[in-house]
Structure 1
């Protein structure tokens, strides 16, 4: 099946590492024009060098000025925007008693308000191209995770935003979907493994084995496996998929929907 992404311009936030970088690399391999961004200028410059012919921009998604500048630079470089991947690093782990007002506000700005601002800035260009938006969230939107309270709350808000936009923007030719990773081999997952191991007083290897045992396929996913699904959803091949939450988790979650 051809994805027909060649020549399409895709903006990928949080693309210097992890799942964002994996998506960007997959899109590059499909011939898309890439505009990638990260809050870490050195990391995004390195990612740009690895990926080759792309626009690599320092953009803190908590900063609306940075976001507007990234969108403007993308338009200047490629002349159009066909798709947007909304992505940001996750809030820190912890439970209710671990966070004060400042922590809640920081999580809101990082995860939820950044999504609003990214869409707001890119939407005029997306409308003109009948483009699409892909929100990256978390399995916590389907099954809240006990030690990730901030993520549970904020990413659920992102999922609700995506569903609402999928209905309001479809008549204007813009598709909106959400993609949910399970346990995929990234630096964030490694950090969560270490955090959980420390809390239980066990080794990282023991914690990893416990987590792998929860996955019917018996292993963590690879970033490339997740990225290929994202590329499909971003492509014209998925032209009648709208308002969906697609899970890539090896069958881990027990939810029916």
Structure 2
């Protein structure tokens, strides 16, 4: 199946590792030119060696001046056709323990600056009558995850924004969707398992085994499995999918 991604330009955020890295590789494999952005430029440079259509960018989403500088550079080159909003995850913690400044600082990096970046890149998508805005959230927006209060709350705001935006730009050939990863085996999941092990005074293996037992598929997902769904949503073939939340969780969420 030709996904129609050859020659398309994609911006993938949080691309130094994990889901962002896998998405960038998947889009590049389909012929897109991918601007892979993250704070750790060296990590992107390392994994993208030999991939000519991967263009590493340094970007700290918590720094608005840096965000605007990256947008200015992209707009000067014609903008992008695809945006993958993949912000980093906040530290674990309870809702009661989260301070006002915790909410403000993480909301800026995980939501407000993503909204700002997307809004600035949309006009050129409208001119071309083609665009894809895909935001990576978490299964916690549908079934809140214990001890991940900041993530549950802030990522839910991204869902509301995405649904609203989808209705506004559908007539311009732009789709807006949310993809919710379950337990995809990335460094981030390993870090969360390690934090849970420390909190419960048990081993990481025990935490991971209990987590896998809650997933009907019986295992953690692979980053590549997740990335390929995102790549389909970014394609011409997915032109009638918008305003949707797509789960990639091995059946872990209990609701229909």
TM-score scaled by structure 2?
Answer: 0.95
Name the count of aligned residue pairs: 255
TM-score (norm 1): 0.94
Contact kept? 1:18, 1:223, Cα under 8 Å: yes
Q: For structure 1, list consecutive stretches of 5 or more residues without a partner in the other structure.
A: none
Aligned to 2:238: 238
User: Bigger CA drift: 95-104 or 192-201?
Assistant: 95-104
What's 1:201 paired with?
A: 201
Structure 2: distance between partners of 1:231 and 1:21: 12
Aligned to 2:149: 149
Structure 1 stretch 47-56 or stretch 161-170: which is displaced more?
A: 47-56
**Residues 87-110 of structure 1: CA distance to partner in whole angstroms, max 9, x if unpaired?**
110111010232222211122112
By how many angstroms is 1:125 displaced?
Answer: 2.0
- The answer (yes or no) to whether the contact 2:32–2:53 under 8 Å persists in 1 is no
SS of 1:120's equivalent in the other structure is: helix
Q: 1:151 to 1:61 in 2, by over 3 A?
A: same
Aligned position for 2:136: 136
Partner of 1:85: 84
Q: Partners of 2:50 and 2:87 in 1: how far apart?
A: 21
Q: Which consecutive segments of 4 or more residues in structure 1 shift more than 4 A?
A: none
**Preserved contact between residue 44 and residue 58 of structure 1 (Cα < 8 Å):** no
| Counterpart check, 1:101 vs 2:100 | yes
Shift of the 15–66 alpha-carbon distance from structure 1 to 2, 3 Å rule, reads: same
- Aligned to 2:170, what secondary structure does the other structure show? helix
Task: Mark the CA change 1:80 to 1:108 in structure 2 (over 3 Å): closer, same or farther.
Answer: closer
**Partner residue, 1:183:** 183
Which residue number in structure 2 is paired with residue 2 of structure 1? 2
The answer to whether the Cα contact below 8 Å between 1:182 and 1:252 also exists between their aligned partners in 2 is yes
**CA offsets, 1:137-176, max 9 Å, x none?**
0001100111100011100000000000000111222110
- Give the Å deviation of 1:69: 2.2
Deviation at 1:201, TM superposition (A): 1.2
CA-atom RMSD, angstroms? 1.4
Separation in 1, partners of 2:146, 2:233: 29
Q: Where does 1:20-99 land on structure 2 (aligned, <5 Å)? A: 20-49=20-49, 51-77=51-77, 79-99=78-98
Superposition deviation, residue 54 in structure 1: 2.4
Instruction: Give 1:56 shift.
Output: 1.1
Residues 115/80 of structure 1: CA separation in 2 closer, same or farther (3 Å cut): closer
1:218 alignment counterpart = 218
Deviation at 1:225, TM superposition (A): 0.1
Contact 1:64 1:117 in 2 (8 A): no
Report deviation, 1:24. Answer: 0.3
Counterpart in the other structure of 1:116 = 115
**Is 2:16–2:41's contact at 8 Å kept on the other side of the alignment?**
no
Please state how far the C-alpha of 1:40 moved relative to its aligned partner.
2.0
Secondary structure of the corresponding residue to residue 98 of structure 1? coil
1:58-82 CA distance string (max 9 Å, x none):
11112222222223333445x3411
Provide structure 2 residue ranges, at least 5 long, that are not aligned to the other structure.
Answer: none
